[in-house]
Amino acid sequence: MTMLRFLNRMTRAAFLFLFLSGSLLSQGGEPKLTPLRAGAAAIDITPNEFPLNMPGGFNANMAESAHDPLHARAMVLSDGVTTLAMVVVDTLGAPPEVLDEAKKIASATTGIPTDRMLISSTHTHSGPHSNTTKGAAPEVAYRKLFVAGVADSIVQAHAALQPATFGAASHPLPDEVFNRRWYLKPMKMQVNPFGELDLVKMNPPRSPDVLDRPAGPTDPDITVISLQNAKRKPLALFANYSLHYVGAPPRGQLSADYYGEFARLLPTRLRADSRFVGMMSNGTSGDINNISFATPRPPREPFEQIRVVAGKAADTAWSAYRKIEEYRSDARLGMREREIVLRYRRPTKHQLLAAREVLAIKDKNAIARLPRLAQSYARRTIIAAERKEDTVTVQIQAIRIGNLAVCGIPFETFAETGLELKDSSPFSQTMVIGLANGRHGYLPTPAQHRLGGYETWLGTCHVQKDASDILVKNLLEMLSELKEEAE
C-alpha cells in the first residue's frame, strides 16, 4: 500500500469517526447538527453492608437485607450540538449536594456539562439514606457506592452512544392513582399536630361515614420516551407516572418498589434483548398514592400490590409504545436550567411558643393526650425558627426532545401543578418529573395551602406558599424559549 493511499484511508476513517461522534463543525467553527445518537445503562447500586435505615417515616425502619436490587438507570442523547443525560435512581429523594457530586464525576469523564444532566429519585420508601457522611459505617459506605453508581450510569450510557431514533406517546392508567387528600363529612376532622383544624386530611379512614370528596385531581397518564437503534430494535424506554409509591415490601428488606419491578418486566413487554434499559420516573405525585379510599381492596401479601401495579404500568407503557406513529432520527435537543431563590417559611410567634410548650411537657399521660405527631412537629417548628438561612436556591430544568418537552422539579409536586404545565406547554407532549436534582419537601399550590393538611404543614413544606406559582411561571418561560429555538 502506497503512503498516499494509506493517508487517504486514514482520512476517511477519521471523517467517519467525527461524524459518528457528533463532533463535525460547520463553517465558522460552530457545532453541526447530526443524526440523533443515544445510549443507556443500568448500574446496580444495592448496598453491600447492613443494617441500614429506610427513611420516609417518623421512626427508624431498619433493613437487614435487600428484597430486590436498586439501580441508577441513565439515558444519554446527543444531536451533535447538545448532549444531555436523564437518570432515574431508586432512592427516596437524593439531596442536591449528592447529585451534584455525581454529576461532576460524570462530567469529568464524558464532557457533558452538569447543567445538561437531570437526575431524579423514584421516591421508593424502602431505600436507604444516600447522604450520610458521619455515623453508622454501612450508611457512610453506601453514600460512596451511591455517588459512584449514579456517575457510572451516565458514563456508561455515554460510552454506549449509537445511531438512534426517537418517539413518544402517552396512555392512561387511571385505576392505580388516587388523590390522598380528602374533605371529610361534618364533625369527622381531628385536630392536626398544631392543635388546629384543617379542611382536608391526608390518608383518611376508608369509610363512607367519613369521606366526602377528594381535594384535588389525579394525572392518569403514563408518558413514554422510546428509543430504537439502527435496526429498529428497542434501545431504551423512559416512562413517567404520577404515583407516589406503592409500598409494603417484606419487612426489614430494601426494595425499589414498583419502579424496579416495572423495569424488570418491560423488556418482555417490548420483546427487547438484554442490552435494553427501561426506567420509570416519578411524576407529580405529591398528593397522589395507591390507596383506593372509596373501594377498599382485599389484604395483600408483602410485595403483591407492587407486582400488581408494576404489571399494569408495564402493560400501559406497552400500549403507549404501540401508539407511537413515527420515530425520528432528526429530533433536535435543547435544555435549560435555572436557579430559583425561594424563601424559607418561618413559624409565627404563637406557633413557636406553642411548640416550646409541647416540648416542655414531661408527664407521659399529658403527652399521650397531645394530638398525633405533636412532638415531632414541635421539633420541626423549632428547627424552622432557628434555621440560619432565609432562602434556598433550587434548580429547575426544561428539556426538548423533538416535539416532546420534559420539566424537572426538585419537590414532591402536586398533580394539579403537573397538569397545569402539560395544559400550558407549547409542546404537543410534555412530561413532568418530580424529585429532579434534589428533594426540598412538598410543593402544594396556594389553593391547597388554604386547605391545610399534612403536605402543607410547616416542617413538611419548607418554602414560601406561592412557590409552585413561581416555578410554573419560570418553567413555562423556559419551554417557550426552547420552542422558539426549534422554529
Instruction: Write down the pLDDT at residue 170.
Output: 98
Q: Dihedral (C-alpha) 327, 117, 395, 69: value to the nearest 10 degrees?
A: 90
Q: Are residues 368 and 322 in the same domain?
A: no
Specify whether 226 is located in the same domain as 375: no
Cell numbers found for residue 179: 388523590
Task: Round to whole Å and give the CA distance between 447 and 449.
Answer: 5
Task: Give the Cα separation of 218 and 334 in Å (integer).
Answer: 29
pLDDT per residue as tens digits for the range 172-189: 999 999 999 999 999 999
Calculate helix-pair angle for 96-110, 137-159, nearest 10 degrees: 40
Quick: pLDDT tens for 75-95.
999 999 999 999 999 999 999
With cut-offs at 50, 70 and 90, classify the pLDDT of residue 57.
Answer: confident
CA 363 to CA 365: how far, in whole Å?
Answer: 6
What was the pLDDT predicted at 486? Answer: 76
Do 86 and 57 contact (CB within 8 A), yes or no? no
The mean predicted confidence, pLDDT, of the chain is 93
Asked, for residue 22, whether it belongs to a domain, the answer is no
Q: Are 238 and 359 in the same domain?
A: no
Phi, psi of 145 (to 5 degrees): -65, -40
Task: Examine the domain organization and report whether 309 and 376 are in the same domain.
Answer: no
Q: Is the dihedral of CA 333, 275, 114, 388 positive or negative?
A: positive
Sequence-distant (6+) residues with CB within 8 A of 3 are: none
The answer to whether position 433 is within a domain reads no
Structural domain range at position 373: 345-386
Residue 243 lies in a domain: yes
372 and 226 in one domain?
no
Identify the residue whose cell numbers are 405525585.
Answer: 285
User: Is residue 324 domain-shared with residue 367, that is, in the same domain?
Assistant: no
User: Do 282 and 252 share a domain, yes or no?
Assistant: yes
* 224 and 355 fall within a common domain: no
Residues 261 and 226 in one domain: yes
Which cell goes with 266?
418491560
pLDDT at 255 exceeding the cut of 70: yes
Residues 66, 92, single domain; the answer is: yes
Answer positive or negative: Cα dihedral of 262, 268, 271, 275. positive
Task: Answer whether 140's CB lies under 8 Å from 128's CB.
Answer: no
Within 21-136, residue ranges assigned H as helices are 96-110
468/287 Cα distance (integer angstroms): 14
Judge whether residue 127 has pLDDT over 60: yes
SS3 of residue 205 by DSSP: coil
Please give the model's pTM, rounded to 2 decimal places.
Answer: 0.92
Instruction: Assess whether 103 and 142 both reside in one domain.
Output: yes
State the total domains in the chain. Answer: 2
Going across the sheet that includes 211-214, the strands are 200-202, 181-184, 211-214
